[in-house]
Structure 1
Amino acid sequence: MKEKPTIKSLGNISELRYINADNVTRYRAIMRYLYLQYERLSYWLSPEQIYSGVMEWNVLRNYTLEQCQLDLDQLVSWKNLTYRHDGSRARTVEEYLRKKYQYLITPYSIELERFLEHLEEVKGYGGSLEPTLFDKIADSITEIYEHAGDYEPKAALEAWNSLYDSFQKLNQTSMDYIASLHTGAAEDLMMTASFLIYKDSITLYLQDFVQALQRRSYRIEGNLKLINQDMQTRFLGCVLEGEWLIPKVEELVTREEYLQNLERRWGQLCRWFCGDDQTQSEMFLLEQASKEAIKKIVRSTLRIQEKQRSIVSRRRDLDYLGKWFYRLDDVNEAHKLAAYAFGIFPTRHLQGEDNRGSDNQDISMWDEIAIERVIRSRSRKRGGKGSGESETIADHHLKKEALRNELVAYQKQELEFLIEMTKKGNVKVSELQCLSAVARIQLLSWIGRCISSEGQEFYTSEGVKVTLYMPEEKQYATLDCEDGTLSLLDYSFVFEIENQETWQNLLNGMAGDLDG
């Protein structure tokens, strides 16, 4: 949580007056010119230089140097500009006493102009989901724990800046991206058929982010809880010493204020990943928001597909299917065709004790004794005593454990295939040996993701860059798989790892997660 505001921080801000003043165009032009000159390392400017620079933009008409001087004085009174006496061009005592000034934009106004410049470029929420940021944060926190908070001052400052910058970027970009999926433009797009083009790429993008979040969140949360108060105090003290090694002309904050700021930011980091007694962690809420976005995309896709099917005539398809049934001579083949075409019909399960009064197989069901079945009330009101026997809760522990083992085995096969391809580096489809069903599905997924992207490349959740190259003469290759053969273009894949050390740490951590 941020510190409580003071009376001073809630008071009037004079530096903001020029943004909505009567002569706002003139003030904004002067401030923007001084800001641009500041970025070009030109600091102190005379009124004549400011006037000539503003007039070159052709945005002010009938503007005079005297009006410019009055506007500069007004901006000085609002604390947007500071000034000093300019006696460098004076040739006589009279010229020196005329009090010619040079003007410089203040730090507060520089931040205002930067903010206004950024607002001009804002077109939407933007944002992105970068799974690699979880790895950077996890590695930084692990390193702090392994060092027990003892660092050289410069190394501590560098480690803290890397950790907090990654945390800020993760928080801001991910929240902005999730918010962009709930805008009016996104809602309108999800109602049109053109959204089907983006459906797969957005869904896979969100799924990769959620998988990386789930795999790294426990490591980050666990190491944060292992860093005790003593380690935290030593580390933040080293960061403070590293910051104070940088020579500063202006002492903006004291050592105590800077240390309090560090402790507040460390608390924000811990609450974001671990939460507290009153609220859940922001990481958990981000995971839930990502899953809800995936569900929303799937629901929108199903609605669009159902709408398209409802307006398309299937007379030809049904006529062709009817002739197909007519040509079959074996009823068993007709049953198989019906199963493929229509699927399993809905069934009704009848339950009761089979107390038959006769062993005759030819007796009609209408002649059998009726089986009584007590039907439980569907009323939402809870029944009192004697309303019925209580039912025990079914234990699905074994079933859940079997499904979990199946999922872990599937993920291991995917990881092993990715490691094998990464070791080869350059791979053609025609060079591949017999693949398992899991590897075939993963390979086709890579092809689909590369083709749907602009540069025919993408990054996996493990940080591997996969690039697809089309065959020059569209040669075809036959891919042997355990469940059949597949004919497709002879694509070439290139697998690249930008950081070998991070890749190795990722594989070790992922292998530990899967074994756990």
Structure 2
Amino acid sequence: MDPIITPAGLRAVPELSYLTAINVARYRAIMKFVYTEYQRLKYWLRPEEVYEGVMAWGILGNYSLEQCLSDLESLKGWGNLASRHDGGRALSVEEYMRKKSQYLLTPYAIEIERMLESLEKVKGYGGSLETTYFDSITECIQEIRNKVMEFEPGEALRNWEKLYEAFKTMHENAADFIASIHSIQAEEMMATEGFLALKDNLVNYLQHFVKGLQRSAYRIEGQLQRVGDGLRDAYLEKVLADELAKPRLEEGKSKEELWLELRQGWNNLKRWFVGDELELSELTLLERATKEAIAKVVRSAVRLQERRRGGISRRNDLETLGHRFAGLDDMAEAHKLAAYVFGLFPSRHLQGIDDRSTERTDTSTWEEPPNVRLIRTRSRKRSSRSSSEPMRSHTAKREAFREQVLIQLEEERAFVDKMQQLGKVEIGALPLLRTQERMRLLQWIGRCTAAASRSFVTADGNRISLIIPGEDEEDAVLRSDDGELLMRNYMIEVAGGEAAHG
């Protein structure tokens, strides 16, 4: 739900005028003193008190009481101060008739000074990655699911404030911390030698947060998915009733505005943990950003270590190596020694995606088929065009690729038919699978878990659905030709579509 914008929300803010005025130092000093007295529970101040307090700091030179009175009236005109007539202390008619006032901070000015006070403390992005907020959120959502209809008056509001404050603080701290890693100051610090001493603690800190994220945050995602619309509305209605039951001396937000704010807050919470059909959840993005931060820290440390090793003198090593070469009489032995010391020369580094036939880690490189890559010459010399070359025909390659795609589609159709015959089936109840079937099944599970609906539709129109087991259920073993895999006991269902086997 998008926020509602009203004309009042787009008005100019004259209360901020004193921050950019010509005599900004005088206005800032007055507002800071009045705000300090406000924090001491002294609300109404006379001009003489303001003037004496400002002059006690010794930061304004050649400042008079008349100038202070003028500045107070300017601040009153901008809406930062409110005033009332002060006639109780007059000792004569002339003093009473003279315009004497007391001044009080307005609500806008209080929030502005609070903001400025917070800005003065900012020394960087700050932030932290704490997993304790996940525990507070889990506790609050569990309480909603168990006793929403049994909340005492005021208990639902306390639960909501605790829930949303933990969520908001966790999100802001995590965003600030990740931003600090990508700041210019962090980049400069990661380029210094002192960063190596900090690297291990920083990596452990990030890894601990990722583990806590995976352990607790995804449990929150499951709990939020179990809170239906009826339970949500019943809970928010109790929160709204507690909020409206508070005694208010000033005109506050209407019932409809409070309800929209509560619904927006709940939608923010659910979108952060669960996501929707159009976008990934913020939880997934935070986990990805944290892993990227770990990789960045490790890369910076590796570069520093390589730079440190690059500055070490290798003269003694090279002299020893030269004596070893000089003592050899056989050229073949010299070639072997050079291969051990310098490696293969010249070498070429090829980059690309390997088409592996298996994922087994114990398979030797020599047992896998080669990956053919077309290498173009990097020579700047132009080849002579003595004779024209005929147009190359790629018909054979296209036909071969077409046959390969058809074979893969046929294998997928066969596996879909096999899973359709099994119906709803758990991982532990699956028969022995071939390697290709096992890889395709894991691919299905990955696509389902990444989707908010926990399902997707294949190219032939078959819908693949996934049911995630509860936390207390035991894991299952997926058996295939290339080994056994211990994993969660997911339930998979394949439903045929109109385009199936078309």
Q: TM-score, with normalisation over the residues of structure 2?
A: 0.66
Letter in 2 for 1:238: K
What CA distance in whole angstroms lies between the structure 1 residues aligned with 2:249 and 2:10? 28
Which of 368, 373, 378 is equivalent to 2:374?
378
The structure-2 alpha-carbon separation of the partners of 1:383 and 1:245, relative to structure 1 and needing over 3 Å to count, comes to farther
Residue 125 (structure 1) aligned with residue 131 (structure 2): no
The Cα of 1:152 is off from its aligned counterpart by 2.0
What CA distance in whole angstroms lies between the structure 2 residues aligned with 1:382 and 1:111? 74
The structure-2 alpha-carbon separation of the partners of 1:102 and 1:211, relative to structure 1 and needing over 3 Å to count, comes to same
Matches within 5 A, 1:243-322: 243-314=243-314
Aligned length: 376
Partner of 1:397: 438
What CA distance in whole angstroms lies between the structure 2 residues aligned with 1:382 and 1:25? 79
The Cα of 1:15 is off from its aligned counterpart by 0.3
Would you say the 8 A contact 1:149–1:231 is kept in 2? no
The structure-2 alpha-carbon separation of the partners of 1:257 and 1:4, relative to structure 1 and needing over 3 Å to count, comes to closer
Residue 227 (structure 1) aligned with residue 253 (structure 2): no
The structure-2 alpha-carbon separation of the partners of 1:246 and 1:45, relative to structure 1 and needing over 3 Å to count, comes to same
What CA distance in whole angstroms lies between the structure 1 residues aligned with 2:210 and 2:170? 13
Higher mean displacement: 104-113 or 4-13: 4-13
Would you say the 8 A contact 1:274–1:281 is kept in 2? yes
Would you say the 8 A contact 1:86–1:100 is kept in 2? yes
Letter in 2 for 1:378: L
Matches within 5 A, 1:427-438: none
The Cα of 1:193 is off from its aligned counterpart by 2.2
The structure-2 alpha-carbon separation of the partners of 1:286 and 1:388, relative to structure 1 and needing over 3 Å to count, comes to same
Question: Secondary structure at 1:210's aligned position in 2?
Answer: helix
1:79-104 C-alpha deviation (Å, 9 max, x unpaired): 10001111221234443333321100
1:413-442 C-alpha deviation (Å, 9 max, x unpaired): xxxxxxxxxxxxxxxxxxxxxxxxxxxxxx
The Cα of 1:64 is off from its aligned counterpart by 1.3
Partner of 2:350: none
What CA distance in whole angstroms lies between the structure 2 residues aligned with 1:53 and 1:154? 42
The structure-2 alpha-carbon separation of the partners of 1:375 and 1:87, relative to structure 1 and needing over 3 Å to count, comes to closer
Q: TM-score, with normalisation over the residues of structure 1?
A: 0.65
Matches within 5 A, 1:169-188: 169-188=169-188
Letter in 1 for 2:179: A
Letter in 2 for 1:244: L
In angstroms, what is the RMSD of aligned CA positions? 3.9
Would you say the 8 A contact 1:150–1:238 is kept in 2? no
The Cα of 1:321 is off from its aligned counterpart by 10
What CA distance in whole angstroms lies between the structure 1 residues aligned with 2:72 and 2:396? 86
Query: Where do 5+ consecutive residues of structure 2 fail to align?
Result: 325-339, 348-368, 377-391, 409-434, 443-469, 476-485, 489-502
The Cα of 1:214 is off from its aligned counterpart by 1.2
Would you say the 8 A contact 1:15–1:78 is kept in 2? yes
What CA distance in whole angstroms lies between the structure 2 residues aligned with 1:21 and 1:262? 39
Partner of 1:45: 45
1:245-279 C-alpha deviation (Å, 9 max, x unpaired): 33222132122211211111111111111112222
Would you say the 8 A contact 1:126–1:176 is kept in 2? yes
Would you say the 8 A contact 1:151–1:235 is kept in 2? no
Partner of 1:214: 214
What CA distance in whole angstroms lies between the structure 1 residues aligned with 2:21 and 2:260? 38
Partner of 1:198: 198
What CA distance in whole angstroms lies between the structure 2 residues aligned with 1:97 and 1:382? 104
Letter in 2 for 1:127: G
Question: Secondary structure at 2:436's aligned position in 1?
Answer: coil
What CA distance in whole angstroms lies between the structure 2 residues aligned with 1:185 and 1:375? 43
What CA distance in whole angstroms lies between the structure 2 residues aligned with 1:141 and 1:37? 41
Partner of 1:486: none
The structure-2 alpha-carbon separation of the partners of 1:142 and 1:512, relative to structure 1 and needing over 3 Å to count, comes to farther
The Cα of 1:343 is off from its aligned counterpart by 11
The structure-2 alpha-carbon separation of the partners of 1:278 and 1:398, relative to structure 1 and needing over 3 Å to count, comes to closer
Partner of 1:98: 98
Would you say the 8 A contact 1:150–1:235 is kept in 2? no
The structure-2 alpha-carbon separation of the partners of 1:202 and 1:375, relative to structure 1 and needing over 3 Å to count, comes to closer
What CA distance in whole angstroms lies between the structure 2 residues aligned with 1:149 and 1:262? 18
What CA distance in whole angstroms lies between the structure 1 residues aligned with 2:84 and 2:266? 42
The structure-2 alpha-carbon separation of the partners of 1:399 and 1:6, relative to structure 1 and needing over 3 Å to count, comes to closer
What CA distance in whole angstroms lies between the structure 2 residues aligned with 1:382 and 1:304? 51
Would you say the 8 A contact 1:149–1:232 is kept in 2? no
Matches within 5 A, 1:362-377: 376=372
Question: Secondary structure at 1:395's aligned position in 2?
Answer: helix
What CA distance in whole angstroms lies between the structure 2 residues aligned with 1:74 and 1:98? 19
What CA distance in whole angstroms lies between the structure 1 residues aligned with 2:229 and 2:393? 51
Letter in 2 for 1:180: S
1:275-326 C-alpha deviation (Å, 9 max, x unpaired): 12222111111111101111111111222222222232346568899999xx
What CA distance in whole angstroms lies between the structure 1 residues aligned with 2:213 and 2:91? 70
Matches within 5 A, 1:467-506: none
What CA distance in whole angstroms lies between the structure 1 residues aligned with 2:19 and 2:397? 75
1:151-193 C-alpha deviation (Å, 9 max, x unpaired): 2231111111111011011100000000000111111122222
Q: State the structure with bigger RCO (CA 8 A, min sep 6), 1 or 2.
A: 1
What CA distance in whole angstroms lies between the structure 1 residues aligned with 2:394 and 2:3? 53
Residue 63 (structure 1) aligned with residue 86 (structure 2): no
The Cα of 1:126 is off from its aligned counterpart by 0.6
The structure-2 alpha-carbon separation of the partners of 1:2 and 1:114, relative to structure 1 and needing over 3 Å to count, comes to farther
Would you say the 8 A contact 1:45–1:104 is kept in 2? yes
Question: Secondary structure at 1:260's aligned position in 2?
Answer: helix
The structure-2 alpha-carbon separation of the partners of 1:54 and 1:378, relative to structure 1 and needing over 3 Å to count, comes to same
Question: Secondary structure at 1:83's aligned position in 2?
Answer: strand
The Cα of 1:227 is off from its aligned counterpart by 0.9
Partner of 1:434: none
Residue 144 (structure 1) aligned with residue 144 (structure 2): yes
The structure-2 alpha-carbon separation of the partners of 1:384 and 1:91, relative to structure 1 and needing over 3 Å to count, comes to farther
What CA distance in whole angstroms lies between the structure 2 residues aligned with 1:374 and 1:297? 34
Would you say the 8 A contact 1:82–1:106 is kept in 2? yes
Question: Secondary structure at 1:89's aligned position in 2?
Answer: coil
The structure-2 alpha-carbon separation of the partners of 1:234 and 1:182, relative to structure 1 and needing over 3 Å to count, comes to same
The Cα of 1:2 is off from its aligned counterpart by 5.0
The Cα of 1:221 is off from its aligned counterpart by 1.1
What CA distance in whole angstroms lies between the structure 2 residues aligned with 1:385 and 1:146? 66
The Cα of 1:378 is off from its aligned counterpart by 3.0
The structure-2 alpha-carbon separation of the partners of 1:8 and 1:384, relative to structure 1 and needing over 3 Å to count, comes to farther
The structure-2 alpha-carbon separation of the partners of 1:374 and 1:221, relative to structure 1 and needing over 3 Å to count, comes to closer
What CA distance in whole angstroms lies between the structure 2 residues aligned with 1:271 and 1:108? 32
The Cα of 1:198 is off from its aligned counterpart by 1.0
The structure-2 alpha-carbon separation of the partners of 1:161 and 1:306, relative to structure 1 and needing over 3 Å to count, comes to same
Would you say the 8 A contact 1:127–1:174 is kept in 2? yes
The Cα of 1:387 is off from its aligned counterpart by 4.5
What CA distance in whole angstroms lies between the structure 1 residues aligned with 2:281 and 2:395? 40
The structure-2 alpha-carbon separation of the partners of 1:289 and 1:396, relative to structure 1 and needing over 3 Å to count, comes to farther
